[in-house]
Structure 1
Amino acid sequence: MRKRFKQLVLFITCLILIPQLVSQPNKKIPKSIEKEVRIALMHYPELKDIPIEFRFKKNIKKSVMQAQPTFGALFRSKDKRDYTIFISEKFKITGEEFKTVDVPSDVLVGWLGHEMGHIMDYQHRSGLNLIGFGFRYVLLKEFVKKAERAADSFAVTHGMSDYILRTKRFILDNSAIHPTYKDRIKQYYLSPDEIMEMVEEKDSSKSG
């Protein structure tokens, strides 16, 4: 009953806020993922005035999406930065390619919400720190784990736990997805159990 009520509230909120999101000139969104981007953005009011371009890319190594600041953003103040979220046009399941836009809508929202979590993380960093972030992400596995878990955490604390869980389960419970990708998810990202623990802690702190 409680879950249905939350879904109803989210639906009503969508009806109210989506027209406002459509009018945001600082967001460049492909028509094919417009609905999913709007839903994810609704959970991040802090990003309302931050320019973000959502751009399809032919292929992204080891990932489906990738959020990063533009080169010029590294030398500007936090309130004047802009970002790009790259989205792989296709991904492979057991060797066969599928269009990313064809995955379930809730799963796509979860993926986008995770990438927006990265942008929230970037917004807390100086330009010099972001440059160091890029080097450490490429060179240090433990830093990758820290960064990906931070992005998941931002998404969960912004009310996207249901979407993040659906994305995790789509990957981990799908026998057709290659074990290598599943292992990467298990190694670097929050597990479904850890996400549920975060939600329970968040709910208990509110009720307390």
Structure 2
Amino acid sequence: MKRKLITFLSISLISLILYMALSEPENSVPESIKDEVAAALDYFPELENIPIEFKFKKKIKKSVMMAQPSFGSLFRSRKNRGYVVLISKSFKITGKKFKTVNVPKDVLIGWIGHELGHVMDYQQKGNLELIGFGVRYILLKEHVRKAERTADLEAVRHGMAEYIIKTKKFILDNAEIDESYKERIRTYYLSPEEIRDIVEEKD
């Protein structure tokens, strides 16, 4: 009986992996943020044919948004990879919950642009590199800083500097946003001043 159960579970796991690997990733955007996603994607023509699913999640630990490869993509070639951008339905300001979709339009575009910066970074990595990246992101704070600043930099290089700055200033200049979240932004992400310096050097 035990052997049959193990065999059944093994077959089920293999079937799930094959299904995820062979199923086609799809583009999907919630209607409520369709305009903001389209505006951000306009700055990333390289992602035009890359399947990206944007979906709301009740809560994301320590973040408002998070980009990651779809599970099945880890069994695909890089050119056939798809991604998921998770978006927290709400975040807290002074203990009260506010819907993410209600932040200023340019701020939301900047937040999405940062996540697309992550996708650009992921597109440059092989599958084993991505797995190693995920492990280091969980375990090493210095790797978190490198990953988040790289995503900011990708967005800035693609012309989204003003949007990224507006997003940072919305967080850092808002007296009602929890100080611990502000400190995370200061520690791991590019500052508005650094972004302006990058733009000036580019010009």
TM interval, shorter chain, is 0.7 to 0.9
Equivalent position of 1:109 in the other structure: 109
Partner letter of residue 91 of structure 1? F
Q: CA RMSD in A?
A: 0.9
* 1:158-177 matches, cutoff 5 A: 158-177=158-177
SS in 2 for 1:43: coil
**Identity over aligned residues, as a percent?**
63
Letter in 1 for 2:59: N
Partner of residue 21, structure 1: none
Partners in 2 of 1:177 and 1:39 — Cα distance? 26
Moved more, 155-164 or 72-81: 72-81
* Alignment partner, residue 44 of structure 2: 44
Structure 1 segments of 4 or more deviating over 4 A? none
Output the TM-score relative to the length of structure 1.
Answer: 0.85
Question: What letter corresponds to residue 167 of structure 1 in structure 2?
Answer: T
Aligned letter for 1:81? R
Residue 194 of structure 1 and its aligned partner are, at CA, apart by 0.5
Counterpart CA distance in 2 for 1:70 and 1:53 is: 9
SS of 1:27's partner is: coil
**CA contact under 8 A between 1:26 and 1:49: conserved in structure 2?**
no
DSSP 3-state at the match of 2:55: strand
What does residue range 136-175 of structure 1 map to in structure 2 within 5 Å? 136-175=136-175
**Which consecutive residues of structure 2, in runs of 5 or more, have no partner in the other structure?**
1-24
Using the alignment, how far apart are the partners of 1:49 and 1:26 within structure 2?
Answer: 10
1:30 aligns with 2:30: yes
Q: Write the distance in 2 (CA, Å) between the matches of 1:202 and 1:35.
A: 29
SS of the aligned residue for 1:28 comes to coil
The one-letter code sitting in structure 1 at the alignment partner of 2:49 is D
CA distance in 2, matches of 1:42, 1:77: 25
The aligned residue for residue 84 of structure 2 is 84
Match of 1:13 in 2: none
Aligned to 1:15: none
Q: Which amino acid aligns with 2:120?
A: M
Deviations 1:150-193 (A, max 9, x none): 00000000000000000000000000000000000000000111
> Structure 1 residue 27: deviation in Å?
2.3
Q: State the distance in 1 between where 2:26 and 2:110 align.
A: 22
Distance 1:164 1:27 in 2: 24
Separation in 2, partners of 1:117, 1:33: 18
SS of 1:56's equivalent? strand
TM-score, normalising length from structure 2? Answer: 0.87
Count matched residues.
179
1:59–1:89 contact (8 Å) kept in structure 2: yes
| Partner of residue 125, structure 2 | 125
Aligned twin of 2:70: 70
Unaligned ranges ≥5, structure 1: 1-24, 204-208
| Residue in structure 1 matched with residue 193 of structure 2 by the alignment | 193
